Amino acid sequence: MAHAYTPGLKVIPCTVLRKKRLLPIPGKVLVELDRQVEALDVVAQTQLPGKVFSVNVANRLAVGPEEIQAFMLKKEGEPVKKGEIIAENKPLLKWFKTSVESPVDGTIETVSAVTGQVLLREPPKILPIKAYVKGKVVEVTPNFGVTVESEGTFIQGIFGIGGETNGEIDVVAASPDEDLAPEALNAAHKGKIVIGGRHVSLAAIKRAVELGVHAIVAGGIHDRDLRQLLGYDIGVAVTGTERIGITLIVTEGFGMIPMAEYTFKLLSSRNGEKASVSGATQIRAGVMRPEIIVPGYPKNVTTCKKEDGRGWIEPGDPVRIIREPHFGVIGTVKSLPPELTKVGSESHVRVLEVDLPGGETLVIPRANIEVLEK
């Protein structure tokens, strides 16, 4: 067993991939078709409308909502500075004068004679979108962004947290079943994508954050550590917006699980090269998995693969069991009985027989395995 591949989870030495880089609202595209872009190039940007604040002028001046227009010093559409007076009353005695100041820099959006409220809007904010991967612009979506095409190594993890980042790959673990210890990390790892083996502990992640490591990739993590890191339990696997100072990707799952050897070897073959990574995970309809993209060909590869693999199981295929009581065990498919089989839980399910290296044969529900590529 050497080559690891999970259906749905891609681990490909070289493939052609396309990344859509689109703004959430219309803006300006800054690069043209066929342009070569670097990961950090801004390809499009827009202005996000500023936040809206309300001030109850009628209450503050103790007048009726329908009267406030008469006391306004600023009209709808006029710019204002923070602290600038936008409305004031005109009492006979100056002592009783009340003025209303703007809480923000911005413009007057509306003055309501029904509610007595004045809405103010802050100036717009610039929202840039970067290319994220090195490649070529192959499509421009006017006003929204571009599609960047890149050739290179593409590895999906099973779960991640933290957003897009990049850096040089630095394989720290000596083997896929070695844990990433905090002591193994030092100042030289700043800005890097650190590759661990079996497991990454809370202490190692904290150390990496201190050192300014951009991302960690490892086989597994304990859920308890994840909770401590985030300060809350992740309820639904929709991630990518966490701000913990690092992007974290696990390739296998929760617990102490050695990284698939093939994944580890592939990452090792790109050691020292620049990569783009994202921890964003979404496990619902429209699945999104965390990813590691290393542009360019690995040393021993000359052409890029276009197909994504076979997508079915045959006797002889190496598989990994992904559920208790044999979670993480690797074996070879012996047979695929077509009939429903009663398993220990008494459910009648489709199963397969898996031969283990030690000679033992297990019967496992087909839903509980992942295929590993030969």
Contacting another protein within 251-290 (CB under 8 A): 253-255, 281, 283-286
Binder of another protein out of 45, 89, 99, 117 (CB under 8 A)? 117
Q: Does 365 bind another protein (CB under 8 A)?
A: yes
We find the least distance from the C-beta atom of residue 68 to another protein, in angstroms, to be 13
Is 110 a binding residue for another protein by CB under 8 A? The answer is yes
How far apart, in whole angstroms, are the C-alpha atoms of residue 170 and residue 161? 19
Q: Does 243 bind another protein (CB under 8 A)?
A: no
Give percent helix, percent strand, percent coil of the chain, each to the nearest 5: 15, 40, 45
In angstroms, give the least distance from the CB of 224 to another protein: 6
Shortest distance in whole angstroms from residue 360 CB to another protein: 16
Contact pick of 2, 33, 40, 52 for another protein (by CB under 8 A): 52
Q: Please say which residue, 71 or 159, places its beta carbon nearer to another protein.
A: 159
Closest CA to 362 of 349, 350, 352, 373: 352
Going by C-alpha positions, the residue among 266, 343, 256 that lies closest to residue 297 is 266
Nearest to another protein of 15, 269 (CB atom): 15
Q: Does 141 bind another protein (CB under 8 A)?
A: no
362, 331 contact by CB (below 8 A): yes
- Cis upstream peptide for 337 (omega within 30°): no
Site for another protein in 320-339 (CB under 8 A): 322-325, 327
Q: What residues contact 235, with CB distance under 8 A and at least 6 apart?
A: none
- Cβ contact 342:350 at 8 Å: no
Q: Does 53 bind another protein (CB under 8 A)?
A: yes
Rounded CA-CA distance 68/54 in Å is 14
Q: How far is the CB of 31 from another protein (least distance, A)?
A: 22
What is d(CA 161, CA 4) in angstroms, rounded to the nearest whole number? 23
Interface pick for another protein out of 147, 153, 276, 368 (rule CB under 8 A): 368
Q: Which is nearer to another protein, 112 or 268 (CB)?
A: 112
Tell me whether residue 286 or residue 338 sits nearer to another protein (CB atom): 286
Q: At closest approach, how far in Å is the CB of 125 from another protein?
A: 12
* Cα angle value 176/182/188 (rounded, 5°): 90
Nearest to 90 by CA among 64, 61, 66, 112: 61
**With binding defined as CB under 8 A, does residue 349 bind another protein?**
yes
Strand partners, 16: 151
Q: At what angle do helices 202-211 and 223-230 cross, to 10 degrees?
A: 40
Q: Does 237 bind another protein (CB under 8 A)?
A: yes
CA-nearest of 281, 218, 288 to 251 is 218
Q: Segment 154-213, which members bind another protein (CB under 8 A)? A: 158-159
State which of residues 235, 311, 338, 358 lies at the interface with another protein (CB under 8 A).
Answer: 235
Rounded to whole angstroms, how far apart are CA atoms 80 and 88? 15
The number of residues that bind another protein (CB under 8 A) is 52
Q: Which of these ranges, 30-38, 66-74, 198-206, 223-231, lies near another protein under the rule CB under 8 A?
A: 223-231
> Binding to another protein by residue 97, rule CB under 8 A?
no
Rounded Cα distance between 10 and 232, Å, is: 30
The DSSP 8-state label assigned to residue 88 in this structure reads E
Nearer to another protein, 269 or 341 (CB): 341
Closest by CA to 206, choosing from 255, 251, 159, 248, is 248
One character per residue 8-27, x = contact with another protein (rule: CB under 8 A): -----------------x--
Question: Where along the sequence are the contacts to another protein (CB under 8 A)?
Answer: 25, 49, 51-54, 65, 109-110, 112, 114-117, 119, 121, 158-159, 222-224, 226-227, 232-237, 253-255, 281, 283-286, 322-325, 327, 343-347, 349, 364-365, 367-368
